[in-house]
Amino acid sequence: MGVSIEVTNLNAWYGTNHTLQEINLDIPANHATALIGPSGCGKSTFVRCLNRMHETNPIARVTGTVLIGGLDIYADAKPVEIRRRVGMVFQRPNPFPTMSIYDNVAAGLKLNGYSNHKVLDEIVEKSLKNSALWEEVKDELKKKSGASLSGGQQQRLCIARALAVDPEVLLMDEPASALDPVSTSKIEDLIFQLKSQYTIVIVTHNMQQAARVAEKTGFFLNGRMVEFDSTHKIFTNPSDKRTEDYITGRFG
Amino acid sequence: MTRIRFQQSLEELKEQLLVMAGLAEQSIQRAVEAYRVRDLSICNLVSISEMAINRLEREIDQAALDLLAMEQPMAVDLRFILSVIKINADLERVGDAAKSISDRVRSMEQMAQADLPVDIPRMAELAEEMVRKSLQSFIEGDADLARSILTMDDAVDAMNRAAYKALTKVMEEQSHLAPQALNALMISRALERVADHATNIAEDVIFWVQGDDVRHHKSLKTAPDPYIIE
């Protein structure tokens, strides 16, 4: 099941660049939450702070508190443990190119010490079913490589890979921006199904996509979160003039 | 400022609706004038305007549909386009009401003049004022002006109820005046509808400008759940 995320006074830097400033945000469990804003506003940095990926850059720094399911991820947990609990899907699908479809999904499990083939088979099947890819690949699981799939299938493979380690949160950074409309629809349908089991945070430039899949939406601008409210409110009658100007295309 | 073409298209849509508004307002004025002076040539003008209004209704809906499909508007722009679509429909109905009044004037041409207990010119004055103010609130994006119109509707409703009571009495007691009384009743009803459309327009202006849905605010608290009603 998904868990809630509580962010308090979060600040992030790249070198001297203060890229996130005083972010306070409660992301509800088992919902999809969209983050929107112009390029460079800090929304991708924000999601990278939710699984401690931001700090992998040597000049990056983070302060503040992030509680995921009540666990303080900067004080009480190791990054590897956090990344198991918080899966991530990137803009460009990045399957391991030489591995089979099966091995792509099982990779994270094997890293975590799973070796029982029966268990692995079950989890791979479940993950591919959850990512709506099973029916398309079930006959060639070990024959085809991840790289031989279409872009949309590769992205769903990456989602299956993220789901295989049974995370509580799924972060998606522009997961459909490199995909055609049909593949995009499949990813959006998938997000809709997955949020009953996971807490989903999706960064998107496509505002219609945010409106379609998310119950809550946050608008970031210049490293600050300007407004966070129900998606309905943000897209029909936002409270802040800057949000309205951005979503109506008056700047950005 | 970005999306310059889209902003221009919104301005053009507003201008189209203002042409529609001008025609509808003029039609109702002319229909009432035709009633006042019993002039059939004015009725002809109302009929011609009604056809132009119908044509414009389709053009405005098409333009609004194109913007929804092509531009995926959000927030104030989305509310504006939705309001335009609804105001467009209300203005078309104002045109219909004007035509309906002018049709009654035509039929009255065959009848003897009668002194009836109904003040159609006063009622028309109020309804026209509501239309004028509601359109002014649209032109200026003035939600306060729009809100001031909502209470005016009660006065027109009251006049229509009084007309119904007085005119049905005429029909009962002076049956030879029944055709004239029926005509006057239909005109009163048409004017009451015009006031309703002006109210709708004012509500749509409030929604566009402030995002508040103020429709049916008096009766909402006691309204039954539509999904479980028998």
Per-residue pLDDT of A37-70, as tens digits, reads 999 999 999 999 999 999 999 999 999 999 999 9
**Tokens coding B213:** 């849905």
| Min Cα separation B70/chain A (Å) | 12
Asked if residue B148 belongs to a domain, the reply is yes
CA distance B32 to B21: 17
CB contact at 8 A, A10 and A49:
yes
Asked if residue B3 belongs to a domain, the reply is no
Q: Which amino acid is at A147?
A: A
The pLDDT value recorded for residue A252 is: 57
**Exposure pattern of A104-138 as b/e (b: 16+ CB <10 Å)?**
bbbbbbeeeeeeeeeebeebbbbbbebbbbbeebe
Question: Chains A and B: how many Cβ contacts under 8 Å?
Answer: 36
Asked if residue B99 belongs to a domain, the reply is yes
**Interface residue A244 vs chain B (CB under 8 A):** yes
Q: Provide the number of structural domains found in chain B.
A: 1
CATH number where B114 lies: 1.20.58.220
- Tell me the pLDDT tens digit for each residue of B175-201: 999 999 999 999 999 999 999 999 999
Share of chain B above pLDDT 90, in %: 86
Asked if residue B144 belongs to a domain, the reply is yes
CB-CB under 8 Å, B2 with A249: yes
CB contact at 8 A, A89 and A175:
yes
Question: Which chain B residue has the Cα nearest residue A209?
Answer: B72
Q: Which amino acid is at A218?
A: G
Q: Name the average pLDDT for chain A.
A: 94
Share of chain B above pLDDT 70, in %: 99
Q: Suggest the residue from A205, A248, A250 to mutate for an interface test with chain B (most B CBs closer than 10 A).
A: A248
User: pLDDT-based confidence at A112, cuts 50/70/90?
Assistant: confident
Share of chain A above pLDDT 90, in %: 81
CB-CB under 8 Å, A251 with B74: no
Asked if residue B2 belongs to a domain, the reply is no
User: What value does the mean pLDDT take over residues B6-23?
Assistant: 96
Asked if residue B106 belongs to a domain, the reply is yes
Beta strands in chain A (DSSP E): 5-14, 17-27, 32-36, 60-68, 71-72, 86-89, 169-173, 199-203, 216-221, 224-230
Question: Which chain B residues contact residue A207 at CB under 8 A?
Answer: 72, 74
Q: Suggest the residue from A204, A219, A226, A237 to mutate for an interface test with chain B (most B CBs closer than 10 A).
A: A237
Q: Name the average pLDDT for chain B.
A: 94
CA distance A238 to B3: 19
**Tokens coding A35:** 């983050």
User: What value does the mean pLDDT take over residues B135-142?
Assistant: 96
**Is the confidence at residue B217, as pLDDT, over 90?**
no
Question: Which chain A residues contact residue B72 at CB under 8 A?
Answer: 207-208
- Tell me the pLDDT tens digit for each residue of A136-173: 999 999 999 999 999 999 999 999 999 999 999 999 99
- Residue A114: strand, helix, or coil: coil
Asked if residue B221 belongs to a domain, the reply is no
Asked if residue B107 belongs to a domain, the reply is yes
Q: Suggest the residue from B72, B76, B77, B212 to mutate for an interface test with chain A (most A CBs closer than 10 A).
A: B76
CB-CB under 8 Å, B74 with A207: yes
The pLDDT value recorded for residue B2 is: 59
**Is the confidence at residue B91, as pLDDT, over 80?**
yes
| Min Cα separation B2/chain A (Å) | 5
CB-CB under 8 Å, B76 with A248: yes
**Is the confidence at residue B1, as pLDDT, over 70?**
no
Task: Please report the domains of chain A, with CATH numbers, ordered by start residue.
Answer: 5-94+167-247 (3.40.50.300)
Q: pTM value?
A: 0.84
Residue-range definition of the domain harbouring residue B74: 8-216
The pLDDT value recorded for residue A111 is: 86
User: pLDDT-based confidence at A36, cuts 50/70/90?
Assistant: very high
- Please give the ipTM for the structure prediction: 0.77
User: What value does the mean pLDDT take over residues B194-218?
Assistant: 95
**Is the confidence at residue A122, as pLDDT, over 90?**
yes
- Tell me the pLDDT tens digit for each residue of A190-226: 999 999 999 999 999 998 899 999 999 999 999 999 9
CB-CB under 8 Å, B74 with A247: yes
**Is the confidence at residue B139, as pLDDT, over 90?**
yes
- B46-54 LR contacts (CB < 8 Å, sep 24+): B46/B98, B46/B99, B46/B101, B46/B102, B47/B99, B47/B102, B49/B23, B49/B95, B49/B98, B50/B95, B50/B96, B50/B98, B50/B99, B52/B23, B53/B20, B53/B23, B53/B24, B53/B27, B53/B91, B53/B92, B53/B95, B54/B92, B54/B95
The pLDDT value recorded for residue A229 is: 97
The pLDDT value recorded for residue B79 is: 97
The pLDDT value recorded for residue B220 is: 80
CA distance B4 to A241: 19
